[in-house]
Amino acid sequence: MPQVFSAKSNVLARATFLIAGLMLLVIILAGMYMTPYTHRTGVALDQPTPFSHKHHAKELGIDCRYCHTGAEEAPYAGIPATEVCMTCHSQIWTNSPLLLPVQESYLKNIPLRWNKVNKVPDFVYFDHSIHIDRGVSCFTCHGDVTEMNLTFKTNAFEMLYCLDCHRNPEEFLRPTDEVFNANYETPPNQEDLGRQLMEKHAIDTKQIEDCWVCHR
Amino acid sequence: MSQALHDKEIADIGTEQLIGAEHSNSSLTSKIGDIVLKQPSPKQWFVSLGFALLGLSGLLVAIAWLLYEGIGIWGVNIPVGWGFAIINFVWWIGIGHAGTLISAILLLMRQRWRTSINRLAETMTLFAVMCAGMFPLLHLGRPGVFYWLFPYPNALGMWPNFRSPLVWDVFAVSTYFTVSLVFWYVGLIPDLASLRDRAKKRIVQVAMGFLALGWRGSASHWYRYESAYLLLAGLSTPLVVSVHSIVSLDFAVSIIPGWHTTIFPPYFVAGAVYSGFAMVLTIVIPLRAWYKLRDLITIDHLDWMARITLVTGLIVFYGYLTEIFYAWYSGNVFESFMMANRMTGPYSAFYWSLIFCNGIAPQILWWRAARRNIIVLFVMSLIVNIGMWLERFIIVITSLHADFMPSSWDMYTPTFWDILLYVGTIGFFLTGMVLFVRLLPAIPIAEMKHLLHQKLHGHAHASEEVKA
Amino acid sequence: MAHHPTVIEPKLRGFTAHYETPEALIEAARSAREAGYSRLDALTPYAVEGLVEVLGQRDDTVPKIVLTGGVLGALSGLALQTYVAVFDYPMNIGGRPNFSWPSFIPITFECGVLAAALSALVGMLMLNGLPRPHHPVFDAPEIERATDDRFVLFIESEDPQFNTSETREFLKETGAVSVQEVIS
Amino acid sequence: METRQNVNRADETKGASEMPRPKRISIGELRERLKSGDPGVWRSLEEIADDDEVKAFLDQEFPRHTAPWMGEMDRRQFLRLAGASLALAGLAGCRIRPIKEIVPYVKAPENLVPGIPKFYATALTLGGYATGVLVESHEGRPTKLDGNPEHPASLGSTNALTQAMILELYDPDRSQSLTRDGKYVTPAEFEADVKARLRRQLATGGEGIRFLLPSGSSPTIERLFARLQERYPQLRRHYWDAVHRDSVYEGARLSFGRPLEPVYRFDRADVVVSLDADFLFEGPGSVRYARDFADRRRVRKDAPTMNRLYVVESTMSVTGGMADHRLSMRPSEVEAFAEALRSAIRDGVSGEGGQNAFLSAMAQDLLANPGASIVIAGENQPAAVHALVNEINALLDNHGSTVQWIEPVVNPESRLESIRELTADLQDGKVELLFVFGGNPAYDAPVDLQFDEAIRRAGLSVRLGLNEDETSAHCRYHIPLAHELESWGDARAFDGTASIQQPLIEPLFNGRSVVTFLAMLLGDERHEREIVKETWQLAGLGEGAFEDVWSATLAKGVVPNSAFAPQEVSLNPFPAVASRASSGLEVRFKPDPTVYDGRFTNSPWLQELPKPFLQATWDNVMMVSPRTAEGLGIEIDLGAVVVGGAAPIAELTVGGRKVTGAVWIVPGHPDDTVTVTLGYGREKAGRVGTGTGFNACAVRSHEASWFAPASLALTGEKTQLALTQHHYSMENRGVVHEMEVGKYGHKEHHAAHEEMNLYPDREYDGNKWAMVIDTTLCTGCNACVAACVAENNIATVGKDEVIRSREMHWIRIDRYFDDLDNPRYAHVPVPCMQCENAPCEVVCPVAATAHDNEGLNMMVYNRCVGTRYCSNNCPYKVRRFNFYKYTLYPGTWDEETPVTKLLRNPNVTVRGRGVMEKCTYCVQRISAARRRAKKEDRPIRDGEVVTACQAACPTQAIVFGNWNDPNARVAAEKAEPHHYVLMEELNARPRTGYLPKFRNPNPAMKEAR
């Protein structure tokens, strides 16, 4: 009887088995790698006008709260109303083309439409004010915005990301008066400091790890 | 074959007639192999394929509409959160068990009569488990995220809840399927090889050759093969018991009167085997007629299966009686109401037909005449299939529809879509079986030869020792 | 895995001898061993007891593999559950303790069985050097009967004892139905 | 809850009123524009839709209305898109784009911080009587109503109807535009037309001008009418309410010579006798009455005593369900009973056995409590009964103490007379100009008057209404009426206390309020706010600069000391009445417990609210007693394991008029009586209400306004009712522990099980949330259910789904009774028990439900895969499953009419298809309180977290709080000796507990219940 398969087929046959196994592994790894947890950060989105946090917050030293007024009392930090921009820009750079959209918005009473850079899903209830109040700095989650010419998100707000901090806040907490300080240096004894702050603010990881803290 | 030789066999294996007298090694190879390679399929094959495909298309429609519209198209409600889906799941899983039992447990028990029907039974297991496996996925409110039931690293930092019997199910069922598949395939390898070597068409040669993995029946291969096969059997035996025990825990772990029962695992397993054998009979009886396999699947095989059916049937019936006893003996208001409600409540008709199907009817199998009467056996097998489905219906529905809070009691009525999905899975199952019979050796060739050899030379036992 | 020669020009690979019954084959194999042949193989349609012992090819590694696989599987199953429920994300589920070991038994068991079964399959195939769709012996005439009703003894040409004329003679004497050259 | 002092209210509204309004254009122009596609008219949806700006807003915001998104939206833009929201019908296909946008303000309104709800005080009226409410508003969207603790008619509680008025505001079926004979006209055209006719009336002093109004108590509207009257002295006002109180005022006339309004002081009454009065559930002040009544029934360690309630009634009412002793009789027999009671009280008690035994024992009880008892007669009883009752109260020295008389809050003239006269005048062609404000007379006026036909006889009929209903169909003009939450106004409560109504939102559908409309007739161009303000400037609001007092009053929601002073009354005894009791079957009309007189027929929330004692939804039925049913050959096995909803259809004949509807058996209902409720069988109610139930008004004639001889016959057909409870016996499962108040402290049969647990106990050292529900106080009014629906974005699923037992209510009121003919009822509100050893959690394969550190049973919707295993394993069956995408269902129908999305509570996820949901103890409120407390570095105070059901409950039967706080009310209630939990033997350790149902039977009448 003649051979059904050529000599090469032996190698082939075994190769197929190996490849199948490898593929499985690759798929799993790829799946893990492609989770948003590691992705879509550091990408600046187009905006109606190329607003530079670096210029305003760093070079001019404007405080976060001047524009993001809600941060301290409300769930939403808030995006400044056009009139806030116009408080200065009605005097300076009045004829800069970059500011046309802003002026137009102000005159025609049509809001600017910014693209959302940092967002969490609808079923996540995030409250800026309480984080600020407990000593979580803006820069802890949003990265050093004062170095951004165009704004991008530095962290993907995935559940694990939030859990990192909700599980061990001591690594991130700041004294409340340092929350808005862009030039804050994390002290070498952060761990101890963090624990003191947790003590002070009665922060209980047992409590902030509950599902209902974010999902309702 | 000479008359003398024939007499000798009779002497060898007494009255037991497990393999036609006239058979030799080559005749076995050709008889079984030709079903796949040469012999044109009988018209019944096409008819049954037609029905099967009809059912299959029904399944597809039912699933499509389900995914589009949502669980609401079914009869489920609050309080009866589980309906046909889970009933069918348990039913199918149960049916699967016969396959493993026949091929694994009976192998360990040295029951020679298992050979020749075991391949069919194993295949049945595979398709039954596939049918069963569909339901837990489809009955999810959000089938799209079924994979949350598996533990895998993810950006949520979330894991399944390993305390939940449903997660146990995921592991049990997938393990059960994988192991059964391996067992089935390993058993096929030598037969695939002999088909490869008999095939005339190149394409068939390649196909069979590919699946046979270049098996050439080398002595050392056979040795490792046998020990692996025996080990698989050894593994499947506890597995098959664990699987239906775990399925029964879906109910037993809960607190619902009628579910919260310690006797569930044993009597679920018994029930599984019970229904499984019934299904084997339902499949085998027509098959051996259509393919003229009466000499390979003999009346003795059927007799044996009937006996097992009877035994397991008795265990199941005992289970029912125990339930009734507990309900009375516990003095628990919920338990006793549950039982009273089963017997006299709105679903009592189902309960009593269940008692008939699984309790009364099987008693006829005490009589040898009945066991060896094809018609009786076939009807019996159907009754048992129905009975076992009813059992799951009673367990799921009557327990839920009137449990703790009288204010929440309500009825469950299946909808058209419930039924279509159920019929659909039967279609899927048949399609699988029908195609299998045509495409792969439905009876293990090598093992039959081995059986034949033992039959001709009585030293079966000596050889078994060596094997073990 | 068994390494295998890749060859171009056909040459003699050895002889195959066909027998009617397993008993005949066992006898032939035994005498071949006594004659000092070592590179032997026997091809049979079903497992023939006692053959490997005669050929001295008995190998009991498969059970060991399966045992290891099973134990490892079970342990990793238990480990996963414990890690999740106790260390990674402990939750108060219905007031149960974090380490509710009784609930972990089923999955532990299933993992064990799964791993064991898979290692049985893989172990058996690898030790047998399968898959190997191409093998010189397949070039032997009538070899297909080895999966049908013939019991075949195969003596490789690599065998130090191998000698074209003598080996053929030897096989004839063992009562082979037919002796074939394997050329591939 | 804080009430913001709302100083800048005025500016905001001014600002709002500056927003672009549609230009008034002529039909011709309109046609042009409809062709050209210029968005100028609200009604032209697609045009609006095509307006890029609007579309942009809609696209932008609507898909996310369901989530806490509203952060960055400008109030005015919001109002504009809200107004145009119907346009979304065409745009519903919005999809969430990978990149979401943020739309900040252009000019941020002061005093509005996105994400922080504000609470405004206003008042809503029913039958003219005001109930003070606090409205929760998110970025200008009113989302939830709660009672105003400052308001006498509420004291912080509400009933189900008030809860549902927020949905009435967003009802997508509200009329959108001004029409003449069903075709759109511009307001300009309409005003021109009307003013021309008014001018013609000047000559005749306006004798051709008629107004048909529902009861109202607004001083401003009175003032405007006064001004109209100056101009048109002959102008006449007529009144009509389907649920009228003629007999109350007529009774007062008979007793005191002038119409007066009774105000009852249940807080002072030890013995209460109700003659067919459902005072705990219906009528002015019922919410307050329920509170006062309950306060005398709250059996606790410190005061284990309670008042005693006798109910003699001709139907099965909520009040009757609370009775310690109850006697049911045919409506016409009550009069005789009252007569007998009067003589018993006046001439001393005599007679024993049967009814007399009941009567004499009751009379003795009354006589034993002079000045501390109340006898109260129902609105549906004739004036004679009221006169008799007034006399009885006088004999018992109750006047002035427990029964006070004040000047009528609403116009006391007889509604039946008033509408009869109007109809007559219409038929005589005397009516030139007919204005129909609100109400729905074409549907519910006495059928024999054929008022609907009569309307057409008017020279010009103008309808001001929320919906284009039956009445609008008969009127020439229909003008969209602004909802009370959209307009300025004022109204008085049952005791005369005045409140000022302020708008929470610009009119969504461009409606106008009665005030604006009247002002228009007067040619008064001022904004309605100014007119209302003027009223109170003239009336005076109290000391201090008016502007300050004004805003203070707005913030408070109540005009200080505006309650009417009690009047001195001198009683003229009532002559003996010969019993006019007829024999044979009688029909008894009753406002529907959920859709009232039909104004809520299009409210899915109320349609799906189970009706007390029926547990039926989406239908009204003819209620009969078991015996009567037997007589009629009706077979409904109320004892069945599962009582199906298949109800026989019967034909009810009253005075030759016929109506057919479903019959249902109500244990405790008087024999030979059939109770039918109003408000159903409407033809033009809207997408939800049209075609539900049968129209009782079709047999409700002028003479037989409340009850009449009738006959009932089965037609042989059957219909399916949507019941929410299918088994009525407790099956000895101790769901309710009943005991006589005398036995307080005696531990009876049920001894507390020893706390045992296989597992080490979990510690809850922080807040330990718990709830206690007092079954003695629960009247089964369903206010909690409605409040829960409103607070938690709970979907309504429609009749078919309810029939399939898929209703979504997180809290339900189970109703049990012990006997068919003379039952005792028990109501048990069942929310999630928040078990510590929750059976549901263990079985969830994905840990979507687990425990938090405060012992709450969390349910995470976005994790749920929908196995429904948790529900199966829940012994209390409190979990609810989204079998379909219920956001597409009646009243939730977001995808079709996104306007209802504005109603969403942004702090509660809207659940999608295939997920389980359940009561969360209003965790969103807990969370808000926790964050507030944390910021102030203090623990959460007791009473700081109030669950929606607790807030609404008129009798305050629900108490919620931190069990670990020794001073918390809930801790005290948990410590009550008779506190129990459901199915304790399951050791699920529920956090929700119950107090037993105490009864206070009269020792003298054990046998008669």
Q: Band of the pLDDT at D856, cuts 50, 70, 90? A: very high
**How much is the pLDDT for D7?**
34
Task: Please name the residue of chain A whose CA is at the shortest distance from the CA of residue C182.
Answer: A1
Residues of chain D neighbouring B401 (CB-CB closer than 8 A): 642
Which of the 8 DSSP states describes residue D396? Answer: T
**How much is the pLDDT for D60?**
43
Inter-chain CB proximity C97 and D759 less than 8 Å? yes
Residues of chain A neighbouring B213 (CB-CB closer than 8 A): 13
Instruction: Flag whether residue C137 sits within 8 Å of chain B, measured between CB atoms.
Output: yes
Residues of chain C neighbouring D842 (CB-CB closer than 8 A): 93-94, 96
- DSSP, collapsed to helix, strand or coil, labels residue C40 as strand
The length of chain A, given as a count of residues: 216
Average pLDDT over residues C124-145: 84
Distance (Å) from the C-alpha of residue D965 to the closest C-alpha of chain C? 22
**How much is the pLDDT for D683?**
92
- Write out the two tokens for D80: 């504009």
**What would the pLDDT profile of B101-148 be if each residue is shown by its tens digit?**
888 877 887 777 777 788 888 899 999 999 999 999 999 999 989 989
- Flag the least confident range among D208-222, D537-551, D960-974: D537-551
**What would the pLDDT profile of D114-170 be if each residue is shown by its tens digit?**
888 989 999 999 999 999 999 999 988 999 999 999 999 999 999 999 999 999 999
Contacting subunits of C (3+ beta carbon pairs below 8 A)? A, B, D
**How much is the pLDDT for D56?**
46
**How much is the pLDDT for D470?**
93
Q: Which of D930, D955, D934, D935 is nearest to D945 (CA)?
A: D930
Asked if omega into B79 is within 30° of 0 (cis), the reply is yes
Residues of chain D neighbouring C97 (CB-CB closer than 8 A): 759-760
Instruction: Flag whether residue B242 sits within 8 Å of chain C, measured between CB atoms.
Output: yes
Q: Band of the pLDDT at D696, cuts 50, 70, 90? A: very high
Average pLDDT over residues D716-730: 93
**How much is the pLDDT for D879?**
95
Q: Are B334 and D985 in contact (CB under 8 A)?
A: no
**How much is the pLDDT for D362?**
92
% chain D with pLDDT above 90: 71
**How much is the pLDDT for D38?**
37
Q: Which of B361, B276, B349, B369 is nearest to B317 (CA)?
A: B361
Q: Are D491 and D1 in contact (CB under 8 A)?
A: no
Q: In whole angstroms, give the CA distance from residue D647 to residue D639.
A: 15
Which of the 8 DSSP states describes residue B345? Answer: S
**What would the pLDDT profile of D244-254 be if each residue is shown by its tens digit?**
999 999 999 99
Long-range contacts for D266-269 (Cβ within 8 Å, ≥24 apart)? Answer: D266/D292, D266/D293, D266/D296, D266/D307, D266/D374, D266/D402, D267/D292, D267/D295, D267/D296, D268/D372, D268/D401, D268/D402, D269/D293, D269/D296, D269/D307, D269/D369, D269/D372, D269/D373, D269/D374, D269/D402
Residues of chain B neighbouring C66 (CB-CB closer than 8 A): 228, 231, 235
Q: Band of the pLDDT at A169, cuts 50, 70, 90? A: very high
Q: Which of C126, C134, C143 should one mutate to test binding to chain A, selecting the residue with the greatest count of A CBs within 10 A? A: C134
H helices present in C18-144, as ranges: 22-34, 51-55, 61-82, 101-127
**How much is the pLDDT for B457?**
67
For residue D694, how many other CB atoms are within 10 A of its CB? 22
**What would the pLDDT profile of C56-109 be if each residue is shown by its tens digit?**
888 889 999 999 999 999 999 999 999 999 999 999 999 889 999 999 999 999
Residue for token digits 């529905």?
A: B397
Q: Sheet containing D308-313: which strands, arranged edge to edge?
A: D325-328, D308-313, D271-275, D373-377
Whether the per-residue pLDDT at D723 is higher than 90: the answer is yes
Residues of chain B neighbouring C70 (CB-CB closer than 8 A): 235
Inter-chain CB proximity C133 and A9 less than 8 Å? yes
Contacting subunits of A (3+ beta carbon pairs below 8 A)? B, C, D
**How much is the pLDDT for D822?**
84
ipTM: 0.90
- Write out the two tokens for D425: 């005048």
Q: Which of A75, A82, A215 sits opposite D115 (nearest CB)?
A: A75
Inter-chain CB proximity A159 and B152 less than 8 Å? no
Whether the per-residue pLDDT at D267 is higher than 50: the answer is yes
Average pLDDT over residues D218-231: 94
Task: Please name the residue of chain B whose CA is at the shortest distance from the CA of residue C123.
Answer: B228
Average pLDDT over residues D723-751: 83
Whether the per-residue pLDDT at D750 is higher than 90: the answer is no
Q: What is the mean pLDDT of chain B?
A: 86
CB contact residues (below 8 A), chain C span 112-141, against chain A: 131-134, 138-141
Whether the per-residue pLDDT at D29 is higher than 60: the answer is no
DSSP character string of D114-162: TT--EEEEEEEEETTEEEEEEEEEETTEEEEEEE-TTSTTTTT---HHH
CB contact residues (below 8 A), chain A span 38-57, against chain D: 45
Whether the per-residue pLDDT at C26 is higher than 60: the answer is yes
Q: Are D987 and D981 in contact (CB under 8 A)?
A: no
Q: Are D327 and D286 in contact (CB under 8 A)?
A: no
Q: In whole angstroms, give the CA distance from residue D626 to residue D666.
A: 7
**What would the pLDDT profile of B379-433 be if each residue is shown by its tens digit?**
999 999 999 999 999 999 999 999 999 999 999 999 999 999 999 999 999 999 9
Whether the per-residue pLDDT at A42 is higher than 50: the answer is yes
Q: Which of D75, D78, D102, D934 should one mutate to test binding to chain A, selecting the residue with the greatest count of A CBs within 10 A? A: D102
Whether the per-residue pLDDT at D86 is higher than 60: the answer is no
- DSSP, collapsed to helix, strand or coil, labels residue B370 as helix
Residues of chain A neighbouring C134 (CB-CB closer than 8 A): 3, 5-10
Instruction: Flag whether residue D863 sits within 8 Å of chain B, measured between CB atoms.
Output: yes
Q: In whole angstroms, give the CA distance from residue B395 to residue B83.
A: 10
**What would the pLDDT profile of D472-483 be if each residue is shown by its tens digit?**
999 999 999 999
Q: Band of the pLDDT at C156, cuts 50, 70, 90? A: confident
Q: Which of D838, D636, D843, D812 is nearest to D735 (CA)?
A: D812
Average pLDDT over residues D871-876: 94
Span between the terminal Cα atoms of chain D, in Å: 43
**How much is the pLDDT for D211?**
94
Task: Please name the residue of chain D whose CA is at the shortest distance from the CA of residue B401.
Answer: D642
Average pLDDT over residues D381-405: 94
Average pLDDT over residues A179-205: 90
**What would the pLDDT profile of B197-239 be if each residue is shown by its tens digit?**
888 888 888 888 888 888 888 888 999 998 999 999 999 989 9
- DSSP run (H or E) holding B181: helix B165-198
Instruction: Flag whether residue D19 sits within 8 Å of chain A, measured between CB atoms.
Output: no
**What would the pLDDT profile of D601-620 be if each residue is shown by its tens digit?**
999 999 999 999 999 999 99
**What would the pLDDT profile of B327-357 be if each residue is shown by its tens digit?**
999 888 899 999 999 999 999 999 999 999 9
Q: Are D798 and D619 in contact (CB under 8 A)?
A: no
More confident residue, B23 or D980: D980
Q: Which of C91, C94, C100 sits opposite D837 (nearest CB)?
A: C94
Instruction: Flag whether residue B47 sits within 8 Å of chain C, measured between CB atoms.
Output: no
Asked if omega into D68 is within 30° of 0 (cis), the reply is no
More confident residue, D558 or B296: D558
Q: Which of C93, C97, C100 sits opposite D851 (nearest CB)?
A: C93
Whether the per-residue pLDDT at A211 is higher than 80: the answer is yes
Q: What is the mean pLDDT of chain D?
A: 86
Instruction: Flag whether residue A82 sits within 8 Å of chain D, measured between CB atoms.
Output: yes
For residue D186, how many other CB atoms are within 10 A of its CB? 20
Q: Which of B332, B343, B410, B413 should one mutate to test binding to chain D, selecting the residue with the greatest count of D CBs within 10 A? A: B410
**What would the pLDDT profile of D646-658 be if each residue is shown by its tens digit?**
999 999 999 999 9
**What would the pLDDT profile of D429-459 be if each residue is shown by its tens digit?**
999 999 999 889 999 999 999 999 999 999 9
Whether the per-residue pLDDT at A110 is higher than 80: the answer is yes
- DSSP run (H or E) holding D373: strand D373-377
Task: Please name the residue of chain D whose CA is at the shortest distance from the CA of residue B163.
Answer: D842
**How much is the pLDDT for B209?**
87
Q: In whole angstroms, give the CA distance from residue D472 to residue A46.
A: 53
Q: Which of D613, D846, D984, D985 should one mutate to test binding to chain B, selecting the residue with the greatest count of B CBs within 10 A? A: D846
Distance (Å) from the C-alpha of residue A1 to the closest C-alpha of chain D? 56
Residue for token digits 């921009």?
A: A85
Distance (Å) from the C-alpha of residue A98 to the closest C-alpha of chain B? 39
Span between the terminal Cα atoms of chain B, in Å: 32
Contacting subunits of B (3+ beta carbon pairs below 8 A)? A, C, D
CB contact residues (below 8 A), chain B span 390-449, against chain D: 400-411
CB contact residues (below 8 A), chain B span 153-172, against chain A: 153-158
- Write out the two tokens for B451: 């059986």
For residue D870, how many other CB atoms are within 10 A of its CB? 27
Q: Which of C89, C92, C100 should one mutate to test binding to chain D, selecting the residue with the greatest count of D CBs within 10 A? A: C92
CB contact residues (below 8 A), chain C span 97-116, against chain B: 100, 103-104, 106-107, 109-111, 113-114, 116
**How much is the pLDDT for D58?**
43
Q: Band of the pLDDT at D502, cuts 50, 70, 90? A: very high
